[in-house]
Structure 1
């Protein structure tokens, strides 16, 4: 996967178009799109990583996991330890709903950074 592909994928997970990401990073129009064929400077990669809430190493393909994947594991672990609420078992459907709520909250927090 290319860096452009990684940027595009994580932007989508964050609910940002590439144009919005480009703007939030403070770039001129279509800078990120140019990464399909050009190698960006490290300062531009750092800006995008900061907006997306991932490491530069992740964008460069040096890390296999993004923070999203770490969140997934941590959320799953927390849900595994909470099998009951107010003396009643938590169903699989409720667990998935709770997981979705937590992930949406974490994503919203990352957008604000």
Structure 2
């Protein structure tokens, strides 16, 4: 059973974010900087669920919705 407010990482969010960043021609480090999230935080999404706030900031920089990153 999923807990409310917890993001499912089984569909690896890092991979999706990384792919979108490549499509935009930016590195993960630059994405973190532009999104205002701490250095290394996106890499941690391989094993740790991101906060909705961080995911929202990253989605905004990538020009997509949170839903697109969670699909």
- Identify the residue that residue 18 of structure 2 maps to in structure 1: 8
Which structure has the larger Rg? 1
Residue 53 of structure 1 pairs with residue 67 of structure 2: no
Tell me the equivalent position of 1:82.
none
Instruction: Identify the residue that residue 37 of structure 1 maps to in structure 2.
Output: 47
**Could you tell me the TM-score, scaled by structure 2's length?**
0.81
- 1:25 and 2:35 aligned: yes
CA RMSD of aligned residues (A): 0.8
Q: Aligned to 1:11, what secondary structure does the other structure show? A: helix
- Aligned pairs for 1:86-105 within 5 A: none
Q: Name the CA distance, whole Å, in 1 between partners of 2:63 and 2:52.
A: 16
Structure 1 outlier segments of 4+, above 6 Å: none
1:15 & 1:33 partners in 2: Cα distance? 17
Cα deviation, residue 40, structure 1: 0.5
Going by fraction, where is helix more abundant, 1 or 2? 1
CA–CA distance in structure 2, aligned partners of residues 30 and 51 of structure 1: 17
